[in-house]
C-alpha cells in the first residue's frame, strides 16, 4: 500500500482521478484542495506505482508526490526539528545528489513557515549529509505538502514527480516585448516534452496570430510560415525568416515535405482542427513533429481526446498528450509524422 498526492490544473482534478481509476482498480481518493490537489492510496509500493504511471502517464496529472513520511503539524519550531530529523534519516536518498526543496500548502495550514524559511533550514541539513541544495536541474526533489493537520513528505526525481516545479506549476518570466501569453504554452511544451526547437529548420504555424508561438520559433532560428486570417503583431512582420499568409488554413497548399515542424494553436472545434491539420499534413516531412493544442469544448474531455487521437493516428504517432500548466481548457499533443 502506498499513499500519493496528485495535482491537476484547477478544475481538472476529476479527470486526473478518472484516469488514475482506470490505471489502478483499487484506489481511494481524498480531496486536499478543491478541483486541484488530492491524495490517493493504492495497493502497490512506490516503485510499482512510479513504473505504472510512467508507462501510462495520465494526461491531466500535472504532478505526483509520494507520501513517504507523514508528520503531524504542531505549529511551532518542533515542526522544523522533526522535518530535519526525517531528512537526516533519509540521508541515502539525498547523499551526493543535487536536491531541490519544494513546499506547497493548503490555505490555513498550521505549518507556519514560508517556503524560503523551510528551504533555508532543510538546505543546512542537506549540506550536512553531503547533498547539494539546488533549485536548478535537481536530481532529487524533496516535496512537502502542508495540509490542515499534517506535513506530507515525499521525494523522487523530476521525472518521477512529472515536473521539476512545485506542484508542476511552471513559471516563466514575462518579457517586455512578449507578443502573447500563448508563447508560454510552446515554451512549456518544449521543456516538458524534452524538445529543442532550435533543432528544426522550417516550421508551419497554423492559427499563428497574434504571434507568440511564431516569435519563439523565430527566436530559435527557424524559418516560419505563419497562417492566420487575423493580424500578426507588427514587431514580427519585418523578420526575414517569416512568411505570413493572411488566410484561412483551409485555403492554403504547400509542396510535400516543405516543413519539419508543424504547430497549431487554433482554439477551435477539435474535429475541425484535426481535419485542417490532416489536410496540411503532407507538407510535413516523415519523422517531422507536430505540436498542437486541443480545445476541450464540452463536458467529456476524455472522450474528445480519444476521438481526436484516433483521427490523428491516421497520419501521426502520438508521442505525448498532456495538459500543461499553461493550458487552460485544452491539452497539448506531441505528434510524429509517420
Ligand atoms: C489562440 S489564438 C493563437 C495564439 C498564438 N498561438 C500565439 O502564440 O499568439 C488562435 C488563432 O487561430 C486563428 N484561427 C482560427 N481558425 C483558423 C483557421 N481556420 N485558419 C487559420 N487560423 C485560424 C484565429 O484567428 C486566432 O488568431
Structural domain boundaries in the chain: 2-168, 182-337
> What pLDDT score does 176 carry?
82
- To test ligand 1's pocket by mutation, which of 209, 227, 254, 324 has the most ligand atoms within 8 angstroms of CB? 209
Angstrom distance (rounded) from CA 106 to CA 147:
5
Would you say 172 and 184 are in contact if contact means Cβ atoms under 8 Å apart?
yes
d(CA 146, CA 122): 15
Split at pLDDT 50, 70, 90, the class of 175 is confident
Atom of ligand 1 nearest to the CA of 183: 8
Q: How confident is the model at residue 267 (pLDDT cuts 50, 70, 90)?
A: confident
Write phi, then psi, for 91 (nearest 5 degrees).
Answer: -40, -45
Average pLDDT over residues 92-117: 95
Pick the CATH number of 2-168 from 3.40.50.300, 3.30.2130.30, 1.10.287.1080, 3.40.50.150: 3.30.2130.30
- Asked: is 182-337 a CATH 3.40.718.10 domain? The reply is no
pLDDT computed for residue 275 by the predictor: 96
pLDDT of residue 332: 98
3-state helix, strand, coil split of the chain in percent (to 5) is 35, 30, 40
Q: Atom 2, ligand 1: which residue's CA is nearest?
A: 266
Rounded Cα gap, residues 82 and 221, in angstroms: 51
Say how far residue 91 (Cα) sits from the centre of its chain.
Answer: 29
* pLDDT computed for residue 141 by the predictor: 98
C-alpha to C-alpha distance for 42 and 65, rounded to whole angstroms: 13
Q: How far is the CA of 42 from the centre of ligand 1 (A)?
A: 42
CA atoms within 13 A on the CB side of 288: 21
Q: What is the mean pLDDT of residues 66-79?
A: 96
The one-character DSSP state at 1 is: -
| CA 249 / ligand 1 centre spacing (Å) | 9
Per-residue pLDDT of 315-338, as tens digits, reads: 999 999 999 999 999 999 999 999
Pocket, ligand 1, Cβ cutoff 6 A: 180, 182-183, 206-213, 227-230, 248-250, 265-268, 276
Distance 191 CA to ligand 1 centre (A): 23
Statement: residue 178 has pLDDT above 90: no
Say yes or no to pLDDT of 134 above 90: no
Mutate to test the pocket of ligand 1, among 229, 248, 292 (most ligand atoms within 8 A of CB): 229
Pairwise CA distance, residues 164 & 10, whole Å = 19
Q: Among all residues, which ones are annotated catalytic? A: 295
Query: Hunting for cell 512529472 — which residue is that?
Result: 162
Model confidence at 123: pLDDT above 80: yes
Bridging pattern class, strands 28-33 and 37-42: antiparallel
Q: 230 C-alpha to center of ligand 1: Å?
A: 7
Q: Is the pLDDT of residue 136 over 90?
A: no
Q: Give the separation between CA 5 and CA 327, rounded to whole angstroms.
A: 21
Helix/strand/coil for 22: helix
Nearest CA to ligand 1 atom 17: 207
- Is 90 exceeded by the pLDDT of residue 298? no
Amino acid at each position: 500500500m502506498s499513499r500519493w498526492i496528485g495535482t491537476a490544473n484547477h478544475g481538472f482534478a476529476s479527470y486526473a482521478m478518472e484516469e488514475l481509476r482506470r490505471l489502478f482498480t483499487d484506489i481511494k481518493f481524498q480531496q486536499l484542495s478543491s478541483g486541484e490537489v488530492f491524495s490517493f492510496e493504492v495497493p502497490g509500493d512506490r516503485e510499482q506505482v512510479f513504473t505504472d504511471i510512467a508507462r501510462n502517464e495520465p494526461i491531466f496529472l500535472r504532478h505526483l508526490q509520494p507520501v513517504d513520511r507523514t508528520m503531524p503539524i504542531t505549529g511551532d519550531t518542533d515542526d522544523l526539528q522533526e522535518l530535519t530529523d526525517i531528512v537526516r534519516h533519509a540521508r541515502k536518498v539525498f547523499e551526493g545528489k543535487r536536491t531541490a526543496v519544494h513546499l506547497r500548502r493548503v490555505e490555513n495550514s498550521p505549518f507556519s513557515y514560508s517556503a524560503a524559511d523551510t528551504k533555508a533550514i532543510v538546505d543546512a541539513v542537506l549540506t550536512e549529509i553531503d547533498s547539494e541544495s539546488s533549485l536548478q536541474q535537481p536530481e532529487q526533489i524533496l516535496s512537502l505538502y502542508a495540509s490542515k493537520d499534517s506535513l506530507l513528505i515525499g521525494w523522487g526525481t523530476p521525472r518521477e514527480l512529472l515536473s521539476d516545479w512545485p506542484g508542476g506549476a511552471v513559471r516563466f518570466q514575462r518579457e517586455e516585448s512578449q507578443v502573447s501569453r500563448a508563447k508560454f504554452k510552446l515554451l512549456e511544451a518544449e521543456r516538458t516534452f524534452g524538445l529543442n526547437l532550435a533543432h528544426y529548420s522550417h516550421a508551419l504555424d497554423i492559427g499563428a496570430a497574434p504571434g507568440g508561438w511564431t516569435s519563439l520559433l523565430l527566436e530559435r532560428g527557424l524559418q516560419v510560415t505563419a497562417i492566420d486570417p487575423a493580424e500578426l503583431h507588427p514587431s514580427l512582420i519585418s523578420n526575414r525568416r517569416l512568411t505570413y499568409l493572411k488566410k484561412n488554413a483551409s485555403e492554403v497548399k504547400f509542396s510535400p515535405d516543405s516543413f519539419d515542424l508543424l504547430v497549431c494553436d487554433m482554439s477551435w472545434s477539435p474535429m475541425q482542427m484535426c481535419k485542417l491539420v490532416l489536410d496540411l499534413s503532407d507538407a510535413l516531412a516523415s519523422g517531422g513533429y507536430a505540436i498542437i493544442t486541443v480545445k476541450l469544448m464540452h463536458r467529456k474531455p476524455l472522450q474528445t481526446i480519444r476521438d481526436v487521437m484516433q483521427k490523428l493516428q491516421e497520419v501521426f504517432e502520438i508521442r505525448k498528450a498532456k495538459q500543461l500548466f499553461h493550458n487552460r481548457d485544452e491539452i497539448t499533443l506531441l505528434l510524429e509524422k509517420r
